[in-house]
Copies of this chain bind each other. A is one copy, B any other.
């Protein structure tokens, strides 16, 4: 965990007005410490924290991811019924889901074009358009 990663994490928290507690800074540094986007599950982030010798409880990872999402720092992506992915890229963009590995990655937004959206009843508005492209290894 470089000091630069910690700095980035702290800034990221500050932008959303979240208190930079020890646990949050550690998780934030893992998430945005290198400036790249990341897709994690509570379990995967918990594992990463442990590997880096950070002491955080699993429940706190869950609560923290929820806090990050509520603060607008992350986006929750639902892809299979039993696991939530959290994405540091909050821009509304499509995803690749690698079914064999259960891994989620960004799909280049400029390569998926939704040409037309259906008419929507006038008392409703589109909150988001979730696009998940499921990939399967060719046998």
Contact surface of A with B, Cβ cutoff 8 Å:
76, 78-84, 94, 96, 98-99, 107-108, 111-138
Q: Are A118 and B112 in contact (CB under 8 A)?
A: yes
Decide yes or no: A117 and B112 within 8 Å by CB, A129-B131, A131-B130 being known contacts: yes
Known contacts A96-B120, A130-B131; 14 further A-B pairs (Cβ under 8 A): A111-B119, A112-B114, A113-B116, A114-B131, A115-B115, A117-B133, A120-B133, A123-B137, A124-B137, A126-B133, A127-B134, A129-B132, A129-B133, A130-B132
Decide yes or no: A134 and B138 within 8 Å by CB, A79-B78, A112-B114 being known contacts: no
Contacts of A131 in B (CB 8 A): 114, 129-131
CB distance from A120 to the nearest CB of B (A): 6
Complex CA distance for A27 and B115, rounded to whole angstroms: 38
Complex CA distance for A4 and B29, rounded to whole angstroms: 62
Decide yes or no: A138 and B124 within 8 Å by CB, A80-B78, A129-B133, A130-B131 being known contacts: yes
Decide yes or no: A138 and B116 within 8 Å by CB, A78-B79, A81-B81 being known contacts: no
Q: Are A135 and B113 in contact (CB under 8 A)?
A: no
